[in-house]
Amino acid sequence: MSEYRIQGATGDWEVVIGMEVHAQVISHAKLFSGASTEFGAEPNTQVSLVDAAMPGMLPVINEECVRQAVRTGLALNAEIHQWSRFDRKNYFYPDLPAGYQISQYAHPIVGEGWVEIELEGDVTKRVGIERLHLEQDAGKSMHDQHPDYTLVDLNRAGVALMEIVSKPDMRSPEEAGAFLRKLRTLLRYIGACDGNMEQGSMRADVNVSVRRPGEPFGTRCEIKNVNSMRFVMAAVEYEAQRQVDILEAGGVIDQETRLFDAGRMETRSMRSKEEAHDYRYFPDPDLLPLEFDDAFIEAARASLPEMPDDKRRRYVEDLGLPSYNASTLVMEREAAEYFEDLLARLAKATGKLEREVAARASNWILSDLFGHLNKAGRSIADSPVAPDAGAELLMLVIEGRISGRVAKDVFEEMFASGRRAIAIVEEKGLTQVSDEGALAEIVEKVLAANPAQVEQYRGGKTKVIGFFVGQVMKETRGQANPAVVNKLLKERLDG
Amino acid sequence: MAELHELDLAEARDLLRRRVISSRELAEALLTEIERAAPLNAFLTLDRERTLAMADAADAALAGGEHGPMTGLPVAIKDVFCTEGVRTTAGSRILENFIPPYESTVTANLWRAGAVMLGKTNMDEFAMGSSNENSAFGPVRGPWRNGKGEDLVPGGSSGGSAAAVAARLAPGATATDTGGSIRQPASFTGTVGMKPTYGRCSRYGMIAFASSLDQAGPITRTVRDAAIMLGAMAGHDEKDSTVVDRPVPDYEAALERGVKGLKVGVPKEYHSAKTPKEIEDLWLEAIEWLKAAGAEVVDITLPHTEAALPTYYIVAPAEASSNLARYDGVRYGLRVMPDEKASLTEMYEATRGAGFGREVKRRIMIGTYVLSAGYYDAYYLKAQKVRALIARDFAEAFETVDLILTPTAPSAAFALGAKPDPIAMYYNDVFTVPSSLAGLPAISVPAGTDGQGLPLGLQLIGRAFDEETVFAGARVLEEAAGFSAAPEPWWKKGS
């Protein structure tokens, strides 16, 4: 457990964090209308009569959104409610066409669950999930498009959101960041949300309070719409310190809604508890309660991929990967899939067990491939080097057909041109030389040219063998098999 | 042969199929009657061209030997049903110029069955009222007059539809019933009004008042016509989650089943000292008619009847306060800017202040109040619980009886302006509201007249989705009552 403490003038304070995450459901159509959910379309082109709340229009639930909520619930190890209900949350605003938002207030589709977060130093921690419910998004009010008017874009109005509410289980900015990161990983794994925080398809409201360790919860403030991992951590840090300063000065915390200002990296008051709306929730009479059977849940469960925690465990226990490698690979489903695809091909090509080549494969992905992808600003999904091409390259190394050094140059070329490793190696004649007769000649030549170093070696400074290996490599343009060269050098020098 | 405009739907259907008359002749005759009946103010919008074009299309279909269940039959449409390209106001100033770009499912079903639209009928604003005095476009004058020659209300909220059918301006009209808005005006005007089971007709494109109660149905002059029309209006619809997916029976085929062997309940709670003796007497007389037709009539109890009216006047306004939030001046309908620099809130206030009438505002305020924090449990939640008890009363009664017989309304039509007190006005719904809260099918059949010659209706309530038995019972009452009175067409004098 991390022991994050804020050192105040009067002693230590503990920060308590809970989160409400709004995740836009991946679905072609909105929660209650057939309108498209495509992002970036011209304003007000993805709006049905239902979304615009025309007179006499009625909502009809989109089953795909329900399925995604159930899948998410299962991924969160949560209780699935086979009976849930939609309520109306009433308030007036131009980007809320019906004058109410359809949401699940009293009876959410998903109940309590948990996620495991990974912290520094191989520590894991469970963060409780309070609930998950389905609701409609509102449209977008744009105040900066016209000098005199606010313009409204209803493309987003009615899009399905999942509101995922955590328990107040986080105790540091690191844990808050790790929770959000883990949630994003899970949602992306199961394809329920694209997790894109810049486009707003995932948004977090963060609840922060402070207390003396061991004491009851303090009064919390809710920080709205914090739209990046970094901002979540910064907002928690700032807000906790602000509350400590107030308490230590003898003040009290007002329960209020605050806004995170990313420009100044601080939180600002938005509205107090007294200014809170009375939303007049009541069951939406246009919709029947949402009910489904066990078969629906089982079908949802069957559609889930292997979850990242399971993958990570398998990578460490079955494949023998270092835990850092395993954790990094499972963070994105695409990376894990790339790894598994490459590994299977590599094992097959070399006739070895996956376990025997897993470490090399993971190291290559994490260093060489990720390094190049990052530099090129590309994601693993559109890597110019596909898993089969990567497997071919590593196979050449494992079979001793090219050296590790040559492999780096070949990969460079593969990444730039998209060509295959064997083609490059053959064309440039880069095949590793393991023929002892051929190499013995070169070894002989190198020793003859460097008598001083030979003296040193024989005088006990055996480390200079590295120098000779380097020279042989230089002569062979990196193609010499280093093991053979080592052997020949030792025979010649020690003999 | 009766004059064209006096034909009922079944008669006209027969003559159209035999090609004795054309749909165009029929439509023209009715349009002429509608013009002459301008003093009734029963219609808000007419579109002669469209009506005749639809009639011509029907005639062409009939000439080709093709006919649907209602081909060529002209009907009037309550202005709460959205009709594509034809102004739809819901009787409100806020939608005075609203032309929907879509068609309600109920009207679309009628057009698919071959029906022809005569025009849009006047109604209480957003279907809130029992006298049609709450229309933004002036009250409907009922076609009947009492002994003093006063103008009487036609009932509400479907006052325009009821008046049009009673005055022989249309053989049938669509209507909607939330707490009695089909049955009470039918009772006041000597017409048949059928409110089917909640979920029988789609609410898509029907401007909402109270979503959990609103249900479409027909007003006609005979029980057979109501069966014909409901058969065309009803059916499953993917655009309404609350409509049931079960086949629509052939209601007309059920008409002559009779009541022999059926058990009819007479609830003791519906006897009231406030009910005029003529109505009580008519009710007792109807018991004898049913007995004579072979039914067994038994006394039953519906213990929570007294709580129905207050329950209704919590549930319906609560839903209305939310349903009507969309009329905010932002996207369509009336927008009032008090001045150029008006704020958003000032625009909302001015728009809704000018756009809604007194009764609508009253119900929005009641609804907002009963849903407010601190009052929700005492009002809305309690009302929902009582509603469940009322439904249970009926369910228990229907374990032993097949139909329930009651008066439709506690009085005959009253004079325009006679009930300025809203509470007195709400009392009109006392006999119709319980079955609305339970979602059950109920019909009003003209059964006699009072001392002033004004029509009085009786109500038959059936089991959920057992409209067939309701129609069969209604047919027996209709036959026995032999109601043949028609209003004196005073509105034609001097024209």
Q: Output A479 or B73, whichever has higher pLDDT.
A: B73
pLDDT of residue B463: 98
B148, part of any domain: yes
- Min Cα distance A100 → chain B (Å) is 7
For B20-27, what is the mean pLDDT?
A: 98
Which residue out of B23, B130, B131, B157 is catalytically annotated? B157
Question: Which residues of chain A make contact with B331, given a CB cutoff of 8 A?
Answer: 52-53, 97
Structural domains counted in chain B:
1
Question: Which residues of chain B make contact with A288, given a CB cutoff of 8 A?
Answer: 241-242
Contact by Cβ (8 Å): B105, B216: no
Nearest to A60 among B104, B241, B368 (CB): B241
pLDDT of residue B1: 63
Contact by Cβ (8 Å): B389, B321: no
What percent of the residues of chain B are helix, what percent strand, and what percent coil, each to the nearest 5? 45, 15, 45
Lowest mean pLDDT among A124-138, A441-455, B338-352, B355-369: A441-455
Q: Is B419 a catalytic residue?
A: no
> Residue B495 above 70 pLDDT?
no
Q: Does B204 touch chain A (CB under 8 A)?
A: yes
Q: Does B98 touch chain A (CB under 8 A)?
A: yes
| Calpha distance A469→A404 (Å, rounded) | 14
Angle formed at CA A346 by CA A340 and CA A347, multiple of 5 degrees? 90
Task: For residue A460, count CB atoms less than 10 angstroms from its CB and return exposed for 0-12, middle for 13-18, buried for 19 or more.
Answer: exposed
Domains of chain A (ranges, CATH numbers): 6-300 (no CATH), 306-428 (no CATH), 436-494 (1.10.10.410)
Contact by Cβ (8 Å): B199, B440: no
B282, part of any domain: no
- DSSP conformation letters of B43-73: EEE--HHHHHHHHHHHHHHHHTT---TTTT-
Contact by Cβ (8 Å): A227, A200: yes
- DSSP conformation letters of B196-265: --TTSS--TTBPPS-TTT-EEEEEESSHHHHHHHHHHH----TT-TTS--SPPP-HHHHGGG--TT-EEE
Tell me the count of A-B CB pairs closer than 8 A. 93
Q: What 3 state SS string does A184-200 have?
A: HHHHHHHCCCCCCCCCC
Cα–Cα distance list, A54 to A67, A338, B204, B359 (Å): 28, 48, 11, 22
Q: Is B148 a catalytic residue?
A: no
Sign of the torsion angle spanned by Cα atoms A192, A196, A197, A198: negative
Name the H helices within A76-124. Answer: none
Cα–Cα distance list, A293 to A78, A204, A228 (Å): 17, 31, 37
- Residues of chain A falling short of pLDDT 50: 1
* Residues written for chain B: 495
Tokens 């089969």 correspond to what residue? A388
First-to-last CA distance in chain A?
58
Sign of the torsion angle spanned by Cα atoms A369, A370, A371, A374: positive
Nearest to B203 among A58, A90, A99 (CB): A58
Per-residue pLDDT reduced to its tens digit, B283-300: 999 999 999 999 999 999
What percent of the residues of chain A are helix, what percent strand, and what percent coil, each to the nearest 5? 40, 20, 40
| Calpha distance A222→A239 (Å, rounded) | 10
Nearest to B348 among A59, A92, A98 (CB): A92
Which strand (E) or helix (H) includes residue B172? strand B172-177
| Calpha distance A433→A28 (Å, rounded) | 56
| Calpha distance A473→A136 (Å, rounded) | 65
Sign of the torsion angle spanned by Cα atoms B176, B178, B183, B187: negative
Look at residue A354 and give its three-state secondary structure.
Answer: helix
Contact by Cβ (8 Å): B217, B176: yes
| Calpha distance A166→A170 (Å, rounded) | 9
Maximum Cα–Cα distance across chain B: 73
pLDDT tier at B494, thresholds 50, 70, 90: low
CATH of the domain at B73: 3.90.1300.10
Per-residue pLDDT reduced to its tens digit, A451-482: 998 889 988 888 888 899 888 888 887 788 88
pLDDT of residue B306: 96
| Calpha distance A414→A401 (Å, rounded) | 17
| Calpha distance A165→A162 (Å, rounded) | 10
The two three-digit tokens of residue B243, written as one number? 């409509």
Look at residue A19 and give its three-state secondary structure.
Answer: strand
| Calpha distance B268→B283 (Å, rounded) | 12
Q: Does B212 touch chain A (CB under 8 A)?
A: yes
The two three-digit tokens of residue B146, written as one number? 């009492």
Cα–Cα distance list, B455 to A30, B39, B202, B409, B458 (Å): 51, 21, 31, 11, 10
Q: What is the DSSP letter of A468?
A: H
For B252-260, what is the mean pLDDT?
A: 98
Which of B378, B467, B381, B450 has the alpha carbon at shortest distance from B414? B450
| Calpha distance B100→B83 (Å, rounded) | 6
Which value does ipTM take for this structure?
Answer: 0.96
Contact by Cβ (8 Å): B109, B206: no
Residues whose CB is less than 8 angstroms from the CB of residue A342 and which lie 6 or more positions away in sequence, other chains included: A361, A365, A387, A388, A390, A391, A394
* A56/B82 touch (CB, cutoff 8 Å), yes or no: yes
Q: Is B157 a catalytic residue?
A: yes
* A55/B344 touch (CB, cutoff 8 Å), yes or no: no
The two three-digit tokens of residue A124, written as one number? 């894991």
| Calpha distance B170→A100 (Å, rounded) | 39
Name the H helices within A199-332. Answer: 229-248, 294-302, 308-317, 323-330
Angle formed at CA A144 by CA A139 and CA A149, multiple of 5 degrees? 80
Contact by Cβ (8 Å): B426, B363: no
Tokens 């290559």 correspond to what residue? A364
| Calpha distance B257→A223 (Å, rounded) | 68
> Residue B478 above 60 pLDDT?
yes
pLDDT of residue A180: 96
pLDDT of residue A188: 96
Half-sphere exposure of A454 (CA within 13 A, CB side): 14
Tokens 């994601």 correspond to what residue? A379
For B452-480, what is the mean pLDDT?
A: 98
* A58/B376 touch (CB, cutoff 8 Å), yes or no: no
State the Cα torsion A168-A173-A178-A183 to the nearest 10°: 50
Residue type, position A368, single letter: D
* A288/B348 touch (CB, cutoff 8 Å), yes or no: no
B408, part of any domain: no
Q: Does B322 touch chain A (CB under 8 A)?
A: yes
* B331/A52 touch (CB, cutoff 8 Å), yes or no: yes
The two three-digit tokens of residue A261, written as one number? 């200002």
For B330-359, what is the mean pLDDT?
A: 96
| Calpha distance A32→B178 (Å, rounded) | 25
Q: Which residues pair with A171 in a beta bridge?
A: none
What values do phi and psi take at B451, rounded to 5?
-60, -25
Per-residue pLDDT reduced to its tens digit, B122-171: 999 999 999 999 999 999 999 999 989 899 999 999 999 999 999 999 99
Output b/e per residue, B379-388; b: 16+ Cβ within 10 A: bbebbbebbe
| Domain extent for B91 | 4-262+441-493
Question: Which residues of chain B make contact with A53, given a CB cutoff of 8 A?
Answer: 326, 331
Q: Which residues pair with B193 in a beta bridge?
A: B219, B444
Which strand (E) or helix (H) includes residue A136? strand A123-136
- Percent of chain A clearing pLDDT 90 (strictly above): 75
Question: Which residues of chain B make contact with A44, given a CB cutoff of 8 A?
Answer: none
Residues whose CB is less than 8 angstroms from the CB of residue A383 and which lie 6 or more positions away in sequence, other chains included: A338, A369, A373
Which residue out of B181, B187, B435, B436 is catalytically annotated? B181
B243, part of any domain: yes
> Residue B178 above 50 pLDDT?
yes
Half-sphere exposure of A453 (CA within 13 A, CB side): 15
pLDDT of residue A78: 98
Nearest to B372 among A54, A56, A278 (CB): A278
